Amino acid sequence: MRLRDASLNQSSVESMQEFSKWVLDLGDGKLSTFALQDEDEPYWIKIPNDLILPTTVDSLDAIISSTYPDLLNRYGDHKYLRQRAILAPTNDIVDKVNHHILSSLPGESRRYLSYDQILPSSNNVDDLSVMYPTEFLNSLNFPGIPSHEIELKEGIPIILLRNLNRAKGLCNGTRLIITHLEEMDNHIHAIIPKELTVKFRALL
């Protein structure tokens, strides 16, 4: 936990404590609210200025630049990547953020596609292909499951979505750094920064 980091000065600790309290108060509905003109109910809250990004630039660029300053020169620094993340409410926004960051980084990207066929559990295979055409399967986009098509590059961080080996730390939610992308199959080489090198099949 960063609040226990001995390298943090008192000012940084107090700032993070204030932010944590503000987030908790927001979730608990304890923040002061106000009503806009011609509104009867006070539904609005005031967000502290230090949490608001400038609106004079593209909002996506502003979020990425604020979260990952000097990204082009530091994306190979595992500690730098491990300490940062952008949270998003929907898969569509996640895809936009990922594509924007990926396109700005050097190196060749590789596309990975999901398995887009229904595995038959009976003899009615023809019926399944009619009920669940490939186009429909490719359009599915569920929380916690990658999209049908994802694009990756070596050196970028990824998150493991399913438990593979809990004894070695490969649990759902584990953050890894891609070290190599196989050309002939769906294998990805990745490391848990400073701990363990692993190889696993892409969960696509």
pLDDT of the chain, 204 residues: tens digit per residue: 454 566 678 887 888 888 889 989 988 989 999 998 888 888 899 888 888 877 666 788 888 888 899 998 998 888 888 888 888 878 888 888 989 999 999 888 888 888 777 766 656 656 666 777 788 878 887 777 778 888 899 988 888 887 777 787 788 888 888 999 887 777 888 888 864 444 333 333
pLDDT, residue 196, reads 40
pLDDT, residue 124, reads 60
pLDDT, residue 197, reads 40
- Chain centre to alpha carbon of residue 95: 9
pLDDT, residue 191, reads 87
pLDDT, residue 1, reads 42
3-state secondary structure of 178: strand
pLDDT, residue 148, reads 83
State how far the Cα of 87 lies from the Cα of 174, in Å rounded to an integer: 15
- Please name the residues in contact with 170: beta carbons below 8 A apart, sequence gap of 6 or more: 160, 163, 164, 192, 198, 200
Q: Which value, in Å, is the radius of gyration of the alpha carbons in the chain? A: 22
Predicted model pTM = 0.66
One-letter amino acid at 44 equals: W
pLDDT, residue 199, reads 38
